[in-house]
Amino acid sequence: MTDSSQDDAPPADETPIQRALRLKKAALDAKPKPPRGGRFQREQAAAHQSSSRSKPWMAR
């Protein structure tokens, strides 16, 4: 179980930019994600469809 603490340790040759990118990715991964699939996704798709109908210039 102590191996997980070594996974978080930065490599010795990590540049400041690489460190910033690693921390940024970790912060983004920690954020809650919107639900996937099910009713939520159907509602989002339906809302997108209805809004595009009022814009005839967007149709091909």
Give me the pLDDT at residue 53, please: 62
Cα separation, 9 vs 27, in Å, equals 16
What is the CA 53 to chain-centroid distance, rounded?
A: 28
Phi, psi of 11 (to 5 degrees): -65, 155
Give me the pLDDT at residue 1, please: 46
Residue with tokens 């699939």: 37
Cα separation, 6 vs 49, in Å, equals 48
Instruction: List pLDDT tens digits, range 1-52.
Output: 455 545 567 778 999 999 999 999 999 999 988 777 778 778 877 777 666 5
